[in-house]
Amino acid sequence: MNIEAIAEWAAMGRHGLYVWLAYGSSLAVLVGLVLESRWSAARLTREIEADIAAYKESGQS
Amino acid sequence: MGPLKTLWHRLGSPRWFYGMLAPWQLGFGVAALTLLTIGTTWGLVFAPADYQQGESFRIIYVHVPTVILAQSAYMMLGVAGFVLLVWRMKMADVAMVAIVPFGIAITVLGLFTGAVWGRPTWGTWWEWTDARLVSTLILLFLYFGLYALRQAIPNAESAGRACAVLAIVGLINIPIIKYSVEWWTTLHQGSTFSVTRVSMPMQMWAPLLVNVVGMYCLFGWVITRRMRTEVLRRERDTAWVNDLFGKRL
């Protein structure tokens, strides 16, 4: 596959702007949703672990 | 006790629920990544261009799965709301909390990709007189309303019940979206995708099927991940959560 063939494919007829806007926005929103779901889980895990660590420390002193 | 009844009783245990969902989350994640990669590559590179719409028809491979999930997710919200009201099952409330953010994101995406497809195809981004478009916008407002309602009521139990009522009432919008293209003469075309009735050439339909199934798997991953987080958040002061995380320290 040469460069011209790839460029022609990427141009999507005259509709490259619309096709790539749709795919780009979908990728951004779906990846964002996955990352936010993971981050909120990780944040909660850190909070719980900090609570447990603080509790253990207070128990030992 | 039958296996269904056993499952029903186990669903009352947050600890069991949290652990049970872990393998489902992994499975949905792997399946979603695999299917969406295959379906999208197939749709973008290998599927033939439409003889009328040209290359812009490829937008259906992201638009159709997102709008299908926007409606399916809402139906599951309604079912969860019903289960919460009738049987007071706490995990149904957890499911509602998990579904709403997914619903907002996927409906925004469905409306946006539809507008981007409409511009080259109909010559307009948006049409207020089109029933399919307006009823989908109402779906987005219902999701926003459910999110805002929960934030507005401080008591978690009352918030859950109020959201359940709104979710059930809002179900009326789902058949309106579905039949809008038949009841009113609209700009939006009739149903593009059906599992039982193939209305387009196989090479165009197959990648769409792959992406629709992939999007359901992505929904599965997001919902299981968020339900597990919500269970932990509600149970963070209990012994089983302390045991679970205490071991790692």
Q: Each residue of A50-60: pLDDT tens digit?
A: 988 888 888 76
A39 at interface of B, judged by CB pairs closer than 8 A: no
Rounded CA gap, B29 and B32, in Å?
Answer: 5
Residues in B touching A9 (Cβ below 8 Å): 45
B56 and A9: CB-CB below 8 Å?
no
B247 has pLDDT over 80: no
What is the complex's ipTM, to 2 decimals? 0.90
User: DSSP 3-state assignment of B50?
Assistant: strand
B88: left (phi over 0), alpha (psi -120 to 50) or beta: left
Banded model confidence at residue B249, pLDDT cuts 50, 70, 90: low
Distance from CA of A15 to the nearest CA of B (A): 6
Residues B114-121, mean pLDDT to the nearest whole number: 93
Q: What is the predicted pLDDT for the residue at B188?
A: 83
- Predicted confidence at residue A1, as pLDDT, reads 63
Task: For residue A56, give the amino acid letter.
Answer: K
Q: Print burial letters for B40-71: b (CB count within 10 Å at least 16), e (below 16).
A: bebbbeebeebeebbbbbbbbbbbbbbbbbbb
| Spatial contact of B122 and B187, defined as CB atoms under 8 Å apart | yes
Q: Which residue from A15, A29, A44 is facing B109, i.e. has the nearest CB?
A: A29
* CA neighbor of A37 nearest in space, from A47, A45, A48: A45
User: What predicted TM-score, i.e. pTM, was given to this entire model?
Assistant: 0.92
CB-based contact (8 Å) between A9 and chain B?
A: yes
Q: What residues contact residue B167 under an 8 Å CB cut-off, 6+ apart?
A: B74, B77, B78, B80, B81, B96, B146
- The reported pLDDT for the residue numbered B167 is 97
Helices (H), A1-61: 3-11, 16-60
- Judge whether residue A61 has pLDDT over 70: no
- State the Cα–Cα distance between residues B168 and B82, nearest whole angstrom: 7
- Asked if B186 and B130 count as a contact pair (C-beta separation under 8 A), the reply is yes
Is the pLDDT at B123 greater than 60? The verdict is yes
Please determine, for residue B104, whether its predicted confidence score (pLDDT) is greater than 70. Answer: yes
A17 or B36, higher pLDDT: B36
- Average pLDDT value over all residues in chain A: 90
Q: In Å, how far is B207's CA from the nearest CA of chain A?
A: 15
Interface probe, candidates A6, A12, A19, chain B, greatest B C-beta count within 10 A: A19
